[in-house]
A and B are shown apart, each in its own frame.
Chain A
């Protein structure tokens, strides 16, 4: 408890690579939830002990594949109702995970627990520069209220420049 400021948590955690369960890295973090104004994202400071795996090869394969598509990529319901994701869509899903991590961070309080539930819709946006751009509508599941919240996010990615969420907003839920 920090008077007049908020609640600070010290965390020691282990990061595990989703694609390689044996690859783990230790991490320490400090999270400060601000008192009062719930519209400010919690402050996060972290240190990673060691290095994250190099993903250049997979990144470039994906990048080149998308760059060489004749028509912009469009897809729906990833995963499908049964939990299946086609191999071509797996990187699209991983990208959504990373991007939704940012959105979740920006919208978290001490009383929320968000997870990405499903990608409802994704559409690639044509760009004249070297970046890839995707417009996502994702469904976020909030554990405490059990609500499913549709969220729009515009995601930029480049193998050397990483992920950026340039725009995001709560998407109006259809009746």
Chain B
């Protein structure tokens, strides 16, 4: 398909153009209607591929000058929506990891991932959200006779941070595509189980797709429905309600009516509490800012294993920078970012999980929460 640019000069030319449009049912981009075609004014018509030559011949016959504005409409469409065309046997055919997906697609993706990788992946129910939606995590576990330590990773605790669930999905895909061929990954899976929660704040995520792109909290109603949403990352039982929070529901950092007041928080906390003796590392993925944050946000007092925590985080940051030169700052939240209490990362560490980190992915504010899809791949690759 091509789009032609014409500036009609005479009344006869206009008549002929109107005739062409209506007889061939051409797609007028500018103006909208044939009757609005005027002499001296820009005309843009999209001509379907099979008719291009016929239309051009007709224009030539009537001495109507034209320019090709868009030589290939499909190419332009494809450019604005990249499509993954390579075949991935272990991952759903045609699932595009370099695009953002709405929740229904992510639910389908989880089912599909388990189906195509049933020797490694199981989907588990975690609980229900305040709007009654099911929360699932994926367990990636190589069958073995010994109990393995667990690495937990959750994404999407804050609705507007779309790059975060995108990263969880990418992560799963990478592991599943490469665990047989990549020695690092296969060694990983020999000794560790991966538990991935692709979207923690499901209701909020859906709300950011349908109503308010920059929504952050969950969707629990307060004050008889006058005000909505608790900041789930202020709702955990780690010095809850003490600092960097608000008791006002209309605030973005409203910490809820009490620690673990939200069903989403409880679903995650109860599960992790049960498994805590086997959990080696707790990761929670956010955006934006480019940080690897260690405990605590609620106090500047360093955690007991602070040296080790920092050492591992510094190595991660260096590895990340090695990929595309992206700089991630490393340190405790209260020292390098701001104070906050009730965070999931603080809570995980407080109940005994030795390695607990918050990742704040790209970027540093240029695009902020609305990171363009062409940055999904590099962000995920470097974070991987």
Contact = CB atoms under 8 A, between A and B. Distances in A.
Interface of B: 80, 99-100, 209, 213-214, 216, 231, 244, 246, 251-253, 289, 338, 365-373, 375
A162 B214 CA distance: 31
A141 B253 contact: no
The secondary-structure label for the interface of chain A is loop
A82 B251 contact: no
A139 interface: yes
A83 B246 CA distance: 30
Contacts, number: 54
A58 interface: no
Interface stretch (A28-36, A41-49, A125-133, A145-153): A145-153
Contacts of B370: 79-83, 117-118
Contacts of A84: 80, 372-373
Contacts of A115: 365, 368
Contact of A118 (B80, B209, B213): B213
A2 interface: no
B371 A146 contact: no
Contact of A117 (B209, B368, B372, B375): B368
Given A143-B338, A148-B214, A83 B253 contact: no
A115 B288 CA distance: 11
Given A145-B251, A147-B252, A83 B371 contact: yes
Nearest to A70: B41
A139 B370 CA distance: 12
B373 A144 contact: no
Q: Which 9 A/B pairs are nearest by Cβ-Cβ distance?
A: A83-B372, A115-B365, A146-B252, A83-B370, A81-B213, A148-B214, A144-B338, A79-B370, A147-B252
Given A141-B214, A141-B365, 18 more contacts: A18-B366, A79-B367, A81-B213, A82-B372, A83-B367, A83-B371, A83-B373, A83-B375, A84-B372, A117-B214, A117-B369, A118-B213, A139-B214, A143-B338, A144-B338, A145-B252, A146-B253, A148-B214
Contacts of B372: 79, 82-85
Nearest to B231: A146
